[in-house]
Chains A and B, each alone.
Chain A
Amino acid sequence: MTLHTPHDLLEAVGNLPESGDDVIVDATDVHKWFGRLHVLKGVNLTVRRREVVVLIGPSGSGKTTFLRCINHLERIQQGEICVNGHLIGYRTENGKLVEDREREIARQRSEIGMVFQRFNLFPHMTALENIIEAPIQVRGISMDEAREMGLKLLERVGLAAKVNTYPQQLSGGQQQRVAIARALAMRPSLILFDEPTSALDPEMIGEVLDVMKELAHEGMTMIVVSHEMGFAREVADRAVMMDEGIIIEEGTPEALFSHPREERTQAFLSKIL
């Protein structure tokens, strides 16, 4: 698998949308309950343009839940999350926060990419069709334009030969790379990664991490929930440790991994490092 020189991936989609805002994600005092279970107990996080943030923590810490709140796949009961300067999932009406219209939420989501642990590729479409589906259906761009962009993206992730292949015929690593290309096709200003390599066989983790590193080098804003410490050390600007619904510690990866201040961080890291 060959990756070209930096900037190739984003060049394939015509580079990032220009926006004045420097702060991409601003989450303030986010609370969430699942029934009576209080899973997020006041999470505050700011992510700037071009930042790569890695979220770590034990299972049940709420890191995946929080990630899914950022593109409103999960509702929050308290607090606010702003993406690209706009409140997501809700709007103010008569001074109160009400759930936003579906159309508006969908519009905001189209600017946030997401890559799932189980890939979630559309099985009834080929790799190329998976990639061009949203640009055509949501953005309304022409089939030719979409195909051209899709082919470039596939080439950039090293899967040019799999244009007409169905997901079931691809390996896990190949599927995840197509999933990343699919997210990129919408030219998002931010991509969320929910444990992107956890469901992969070890020998395929590398090819996916390579693509993610490439993206990071090209300046994509990324929030990644992952246990891949090597990846974090290499490209992450910040590592954030969550436990029992709140952020307990954050810092640069070297600082956090080498000299964790909190005891829970130490305990967690000792198990995975």
Chain B
Amino acid sequence: MSRFTRTTAIVSVAALLLMAGCQAAASPSASAGGSPSAGASATANPTPVASVPADQLAFPGILTVCIDIPYPPQEFFDAEGNPTGADPDIAAALAQRLGLADRVENSVFSTIIEAVTSGKCDIIISAQNITTDRLGQVNMIPYFQAGQAFVVAKGNPAGIHTELDLCGKKAAAETGTTEVDYVNGTGDYAGGGLNKKCTAAGKAAVNMHEYEKDTDALLALSSGQVDAYFADSPVAGYYTVQQPDQFELSGVTVEVAQEGISVPKDKPELGAALVTALKAMMTDGSYLQILTKYGLQDGAVDISEVTLKTGS
């Protein structure tokens, strides 16, 4: 046969074999009980309260956690460049109670859900609000709650005191956050949101600048590019306390909502194990201890809220 026909035939057969092979690999294999690994942190080792099947972990014996760092004080880097903050600490404590070591993967927030559903990491603990869209992709376990706040430059030069003062002005936030949803009226704020209120009041919409890293959104405020920086209240509060000569709270806030640990839907045992571990942390006081360490005790959730939310 001609070279053209032969090439086509080979490519087609190869493609079919690939597809078949992928389908076979996708079907779940028999789950085996996970063994606790050595190498967990040395101090005050709590005994494991649950185990995770090995095939539900990206790396055996390790709980790989996706976190978008920095978002202080929930996650940031310490002086040596190691991840620290409420979320990494909670992640480490959970891993211990599962008999696993923990590893943090610094991620980009706008694609963090894809990172966990594609298996790059096992779970996400990154100040994620529980939303309908996210529940469509992952299961979430409530572990914290917080509101959202607008930060302005010191002296509030743009005069932002109420929500509607933001209309027609420029604001910065991180891509993929509920902050963006709130202003644009997408996600769980569909049909509502700030811009809808602006147009209803006959004003121009908020000019939203989205940044892949939250720190760049803050930089936009400090370089004078935008009039306000929009983030979760703990974070907003952190920056205004750390740099009071640069930033202040505008006083404009959005209501408190729950944040959750994201677990892929096809890893039910992992989800169940995490629920058990988190409850154990709340019972023995380590959960509140961690939050208090970072001044976040007001965002604690009650143990009765800790379930595996699936959105159905």
Direct contact, A vs B (beta carbon within 8 Å): no
Chain A residues with CB under 8 Å of chain B are none
Chain B residues with CB under 8 Å of chain A are none
